[in-house]
Amino acid sequence: MEPFNGWPPEAPEFFRELEHNNNREWFHAHRDTYDRAVRGPLEALLGEVQDKFGDAKVFRPNRDIRFSADKTPYKTQIYAVLSHPGGGGWYVALDKDGVYAGGGCYSPDRQALAKLRGAISADEPGERLEQIVAQMAGSGLELMTEGALKRAPKGYPVDHPRIHLLRLPHLAAVAPLPAGPWLHTREAKTRIVEGWNAITPLLEWLALYL
């Protein structure tokens, strides 16, 4: 496999064009660009970090449109997940705007979410989590708040000191890395690994309480 040297300019441009041509005919006509400029570099990157972060799963480009009002067939990003042995995992994505690096536990099932909220509400693990979240913010990682409850989850007071964390349906964060010249060099690997290293304390916390 070729070494990872960043993504070529064709990669973000592929997704920019896909947004306006999201159909099977266009995608198949440009499949070579996707394989060579988008997926190929991602797989090269994942191969280089395998010894430290483990095996990765690259998600397929097709969208599941069975229950969606949006019937466009293809995702406008490529992403991969690397599982942490204790639960959750690291995440990387590329789209027209750049890269997103982070991880955590996204959309856990009901039982796992109950465990997380129990740990968040308890003094020692909850306070440690607040420290981790503050450290992640200092590293440019943003908590994913999509789907957060507007009120306190059942069984928790609305004035709980960590209500902002208890309302979350998942515990994950990403660092947006806007595209620039660095994206086309090995610096892309450095920035992504920095994001993964910054999320690792959260994964270690999840391994204790998930």
CA 194 vs CA 5, 26, 84, 140, 173: distances in Å: 17, 35, 16, 10, 13
Tokens for 64, please give them.
Answer: 């599941």
Summarised one tens digit per residue, pLDDT across range 6-16 is 999 999 999 99
Tokens for 44, please give them.
Answer: 């090269």
Length of the chain: 210
pTM of the model: 0.94
3-state secondary structure of 25: helix
Which residue type occupies 154? K
Q: Based on the structure, what is the number of domains in the chain?
A: 1
- Report pLDDT for 167: 97
Residue 37: inside a domain? yes
Are 100 and 91 in contact, with CB atoms under 8 Å apart? yes
**pLDDT interval class at 87 (50, 70, 90):** confident
Instruction: Assign residue 197 the CATH number of its domain.
Output: 3.30.930
Instruction: Tell me the residue range of the domain where 67 lies.
Output: 10-209
Residue 85: inside a domain? yes
Residue 126: inside a domain? yes
Summarised one tens digit per residue, pLDDT across range 104-163 is 999 999 999 999 999 999 999 999 999 999 999 999 999 999 999 999 999 999 999 999
pLDDT at residue 67 above 90?
no
Average pLDDT estimate for 196-207: 97
Residue 80: inside a domain? yes
Residue 2: inside a domain? no
**pLDDT interval class at 173 (50, 70, 90):** very high
pLDDT at residue 184 above 80?
yes
Residue 100: inside a domain? yes
Residue 189: inside a domain? yes
Query: Dihedral of CA 69/72/73/76: which sign?
Result: negative
Residue 43: inside a domain? yes
